Structure 1
């Protein structure tokens, strides 16, 4: 057991955070490696940018599809299956012989993204007492935050030094470690409730959820428009060195982390008032 904010933390919760770190890293790191990928595969930088779009489409399609496909599975089995898909996708990325194979691999990798975080949040909340569930979910998503702060800049630096494929090899290894941890340490809950798709879809009837989805979509669209071409913009327009791109990505990750913390505290204050 570890401790987080006076809360005993099961090792299985840290494994979920490690899984989130791997998924977040593979999602964002391609943006720092775009010029390297484009040069190696013989495509233009705008063409390589479609690899980001391909991942996003995989997330959009995979989230509801994989949730339905794994609905009858125990949650542990579902997470293990999704992490297996993630590993296969990153392995294909590392071995991709051309642009089309890499695009296919990115889509495959993305299929597990939304479903893993959805199911993982429920599992994380069930690992701790009821009064600590929000903190448990937040701890799992800390892995995603660390992916922006550490995973992306380190992955970009590794890719620039040893080739972009080395980054995907490294993420594959992290995925394998996370998979072993899920199998070994994540408990099986025999009393868990099955996913009710009708109940899930009924939430879409509320106007509030559509407002939240619209805000999230606009934020994501604006952020990814910049992020997708951040490396060539910094290198070709502002003259930043490859090392400077790594440090810039680190600063962006720190900004995202600070925003999450400040935003969360402001939301808590607003809800309690």
Structure 2
């Protein structure tokens, strides 16, 4: 695999760290800024809102620029947002800085996925995407725990300065390792880019992302009370168990990339089915500490098996605007985060028990399978029609090879 994928992984590591570390720093931030923890929780929402807005918008408006330049520019915005977070004088300014930090998130992964697949042979595209996402999953294993400890001992502002340093390292790696390219999109502007998303298969792929990862976040958002109230873990043990989730996610991400290069849709169906089974078994798995630890690991593995095939599928369904579609998939991921957490919370508030969010997630996983099945049927009908065969014969590769 090209060494340039390491630069993308470093950027993904920084983004993954800053996205999730706020959850562990909420009490420290709330205490320092003299606000309540629920109010501090809006800082998480501000970042997610930045991702949802920035992902398709920045990918569209930068479509005619060199992708190497775009990646470096996006990481520069990321560094600026985190530096402003570190020096924010109050809650409102920190809220704005977190929104700014989220803006480049989706576009970086979207454009990065196009660059990653353009540097490898067609049969290794999914694997290249999984190696970029490796930085995101490793952030859950190492980046978030270390950054949280730094914030607890040195102050939460030091954490964001540390993340800014990671961003600077990513800029250096991107400048040194990503080849200068001439892979400019042929789009005529924002309207043309958005027109490429009018395809039903694209929206079905995005819908699969929302339902599939909504299943994950319905359970993961409430995994702490599951582990303490049902499995009997002490609160101090939760950080280690969440690291196990990161280990499972890392393994699932690498496995999914390898499998998707051989059978992309089969990997997607298998991952969603496995996710549904794991979530359905959570009430049983949470009855003992050893099985609960196993369940958390399997949850991360089953969910992230689907990451690479979903990203690649969206890009291939929108061949005229792969950067925009890939970025839109990151926005869909964050919608899944918010929607899944909301649905899991409804189950918990209804009094169905500590593990009820996992059962709600199992239902969402089945819904994701249903949407993926509809997408498969649509593809088969289009491929079997005379027009579909003619178009398929002339569809260009969704990713151009990067000029070395």
Sort the TM-score into its range (normalised by shorter chain): 0.7 to 0.9
Match of 1:159 in 2: 151
The alpha-carbon distance between structure 1 residues 178 and 31, as it changes in their structure 2 partners (threshold 3 A), is: same
Distance 1:254 1:124 in 2: 23
Correspondent of 2:164 among 169, 172, 185: 172
Distance 1:269 1:225 in 2: 24
Distance 2:161 2:135 in 1: 19
Q: How does 1:89-104 map to 2 (within 5 A)?
A: 89-104=81-96
Is the Cα contact below 8 Å between 2:60 and 2:193 reproduced in 1? no
Bigger radius of gyration:
2
Q: How does 1:1-273 map to 2 (within 5 A)?
A: 9-190=1-182, 192-195=184-187, 200-220=193-213, 240-241=234-235, 243-260=236-253, 265=259, 268=264, 270=266
Q: What is the DSSP-based 3-state SS (H/G/I as helix, E as strand, rest coil) of the residue aligned with 1:10?
A: coil
Which has the higher relative contact order, 1 or 2, with Cα contacts under 8 A spaced 6 or more apart? Answer: 1
RMSD between aligned residues: 3.2
The alpha-carbon distance between structure 1 residues 201 and 193, as it changes in their structure 2 partners (threshold 3 A), is: closer
Per-residue deviation, residues 174-211 of structure 1 (Å, max 9, x unmatched): 10011112122221112544446566534533444333
Distance 1:185 1:69 in 2: 24
Q: What is the DSSP-based 3-state SS (H/G/I as helix, E as strand, rest coil) of the residue aligned with 1:72?
A: coil
Q: What is the DSSP-based 3-state SS (H/G/I as helix, E as strand, rest coil) of the residue aligned with 2:197?
A: helix
Question: 1:261: how far off?
Answer: 5.1
Gaps spanning 5+ residues in structure 1: where? 1-8
Gaps spanning 5+ residues in structure 2: where? 270-404
Structure 1, 188-197 or 257-266: larger mean CA deviation? 257-266
The alpha-carbon distance between structure 1 residues 131 and 208, as it changes in their structure 2 partners (threshold 3 A), is: closer
Question: 1:218: how far off?
Answer: 4.3
Question: 1:113: how far off?
Answer: 0.8
Per-residue deviation, residues 86-123 of structure 1 (Å, max 9, x unmatched): 00001011112211111111110111011111111111
Q: Give the TM-score normalised by structure 2.
A: 0.57
